[in-house]
Amino acid sequence: MYSTRGNHQEPSSSLAAARSDSSKLSSEEIAVLRRSSFINGKKFVPFFPGDASYANLSGNGRWRDSDGILDLSAKQQKRLAGWAPAEDYIPNATVVNQVSPRNVTQTLVSDCSFVSAMILSAGYENKFHTQIITNSLFPQNRERKPVLNPYGKYCVRLHINGCWRLVEVDTRFPFDQNGRLLTSYSKDKAELWVSLLEKAYLKVMGGYDFPGSNSSIDLHALTGWIPERKALQDTGNDDGRFFTMLKTRMGSGHVLATMASGRLSSDLEEKSGLVPTHAYALLDLRQVGNLRFVKLKNPWAERSWKGKYSYQDSTRWTSELQRMLSYDPKAAAADDQGVFWIEWNDLIIYFDVCYLSWNTSLFKFDRKFHGSWPQGPKKDLYSFANNPQYLLTIDSSVDTMVWLLLSRHITEKDDFAENKDFITLIVYKNNGERLYLPTSGTKVLDGIRINSPFYLAKLPVSKSSSHEKYTIIVSEYEKNHDIDFTLTAYANVKFSLKELNDNFSHQKRVKSEWNSSNAGGCQNNRETYSSNPITKITICSKCTLLIEIRAPKQYSVQMQLEDLSEKKLEESGSYRSGYSVLKTVLDPGTYQIRSSTFNKGEIGPFFLDFSSDMQFLL
């Protein structure tokens, strides 16, 4: 147990909240979550549902967050008169009167994606009577509704870096000289929930000078749901399948989504009325005849679409269409609240991406691992030896789908703003063994490398009468530093997921080199091959031995293992760029390993790494 900010501590048992199933976290996983608790110089411990202190945040006087006030955006700084408790300007303040999406309004912070996430979450809570917003704010009364705290201390639950985490905030906010909030707010002036949630999220993200995000990331923080990114250009020739799927799934409460506009010239921005590179909340989808309509909301609560089927388009809004879409252009012209309808063919011209967030209740089973990947080779094009790997075993009597979500933990604002980590998942179907070479096994999924904190892979699994085994490999393009991550699998049939490690208890490394006298090349060079460097190893008892050779990637390398007593040879296979591996079972005896490059005369250093479940001598 160790201390945290404020009055909270982090008992080891609370970390169980980071696992969605009943299994316990390993010591390595606990270490990952503890490291990931330190974000932008502040500490955010895992949220523990059983901690009664969240419901009763009492104290003397008015609580002030010891982490201080947040950095402001440039627009806020220009209009800032000062910081003050919200209650000083809002005498009848309350946390929640009604969780209404129409009340959520963005102002001077570039967090349109998070504000859109609040709009969607509020709408979902109203429509499906499922707590999202009100389940995230504390203290709460017996009806689990957030209530005002005279002490001024609030706790917010956010899903960050692999688990639910606790964020503490006070009610100090920036105001202008007219007493207006310089943060996002509720149009019900008495309500604080919009401003409190935004402040908590931006405290984690480093301040109100937030560089921006996307709504699947932000919805994941609010809901813990599964994020996905869909390029809208890919839907242009799909005969409406994506539109129909989205319409059906949204209507069933399975998914929330936003639409992100693309880059627009100043002329096109003025003509369309749209804000470039901006997140719009997706409120509804309807089809009228052959026309497909999408209802969006600008989180600014103003600036709507000016094109076809805007409130300005008097010719297309027939009385029948107004009835079908429950829309009154005249009322919208007076006050549209940033809400508008746009036809799908126009949408995919002006908008680039649909960010989706899938309800985890779609799946009966899930399994989560928190892992660490220390810096190793920059690229894994030639070797998977250093990549984290997991064994998925599934026995399905029907065709099914397994979703695999990789989440990279981010702890610095600059990393979030300039994400240079291109992560993905690669899946092989084999006998469940750890893979060392990309050419081994049957590759069934090779994910796109993407510079996002999340990558979602959807693995189709065919009906089978036996256990199917898959090796899941965490991969990154040009890895430059250590990373912590969380891998979560979701399915509607039972499955097992476990780490794939050889668990060799004995390892040794030998450094050697090819020089002018021993760089003999491959066996095509009959006169010089035997001069290649030789390493001898003595096996004391029967064991599994793994030998890896690591050399400059411009050299194609191979190893040859020889049993000196029986003159048996075993090779690491074809010559490969910079890396090769040989895994075998050996009886007691003495063996030698000959290391060679394909071309003779290639001079340079190399390493031989030996790993085994039994002791050996070099």
Residue 5 pLDDT exceeds 50: no
Q: Say if residues 155 and 167 touch (Cβ distance below 8 Å).
A: yes
Mean pLDDT of 449-459: 91
**Confidence at residue 3, expressed as pLDDT on a 0 to 100 scale:** 26
From residue 46, alpha-carbon distances to 8, 30, 339 in Å are 11, 10, 37
Name residues whose C-beta falls within 8 Å of residue 479's C-beta, 6 or more positions apart in sequence: 373, 375, 376, 377, 378, 379, 380, 421
pLDDT, greater one: 118 or 20: 118
Q: Where are the beta strands (DSSP E) in 298-364?
A: 339-343, 351-358
Fold of 226-355: Cathepsin B; Chain A (3.90.70)
- Average pLDDT on 529-550 reads 95
Weakest mean pLDDT among 385-394, 458-467, 502-511, 582-591: 458-467
Q: Is the pLDDT of residue 601 over 80?
A: yes
CA distances from 251 to 44, 255, 278, 342, 384 (A): 35, 9, 24, 19, 43
pLDDT in tens, 25-38: 899 999 999 999 99
Task: Choose the catalytic residue: 8, 40, 112, 518.
Answer: 112
Taking phi over 0 as left and psi of -120 to 50 as alpha, with beta for the rest, 547 belongs to beta
- Give per-residue pLDDT as tens, 203-219: 999 999 988 788 888 99
What pTM was estimated for this model as a whole? 0.89
The residue annotated as part of the active site, out of 278, 354, 370, 387, is 278
Which tokens belong to 33? 């979550």
Domain 506-617: CATH architecture, name and number where available: Sandwich (2.60)
Per-residue model confidence as pLDDT tens digits over 116-145: 999 999 999 999 999 999 999 999 888 889
3-class SS letters over 73-123: CHHHHHHCCEEEEHHHHCCCCECCCCCCHHHEECCCCCCHHHHHHHHHHHH
Structure confidence at residue 21 (pLDDT): 54
Domain ranges, ordered by start, for the chain = 41-214, 226-355, 363-499, 506-617
Q: Which two tokens stand for residue 77?
A: 């700084």
Annotation says 298 is catalytic: yes
Residue 417: pLDDT above 80? Answer: no
Residue 107, pLDDT score: 87
Mean pLDDT taken over the chain: 89
pLDDT value of residue 372: 94
Spatial distance between the Cα atoms of 288 and 3, rounded to a whole number of angstroms:
59
290 is catalytic: no
- Would the CATH topology of 226-355 be identical to that of 506-617? no
Give the confidence band of 541 by pLDDT, cuts at 50, 70, 90: very high
- The catalytic position among 161, 214, 298, 525 is 298
* Least confident stretch, 225-234, 390-399, 467-476, 560-569: 560-569
Instruction: Name the helix (H) or strand (E) containing 279.
Output: strand 279-288
For residues 422-443, average pLDDT: 89
Strand partners, 229: 355
CATH of domain 363-499: 2.60.120.380
Window from 45-59, 176-190, 448-462 with minimum mean pLDDT: 45-59
Q: What is the pLDDT averaged over residues 342-362?
A: 94
Long-range pairs for 31-36: beta carbons < 8 A, 24 or more residues apart: 31/372, 32/162, 32/370, 32/371, 32/372, 32/409, 32/484, 33/161, 33/162, 33/163, 33/370, 34/10, 35/409, 35/411, 35/484, 36/161, 36/162, 36/409, 36/411, 36/484
pLDDT of 50 strictly over 70:
no
Strands (E), 108-183: 137-138, 154-160, 163-169, 172-175
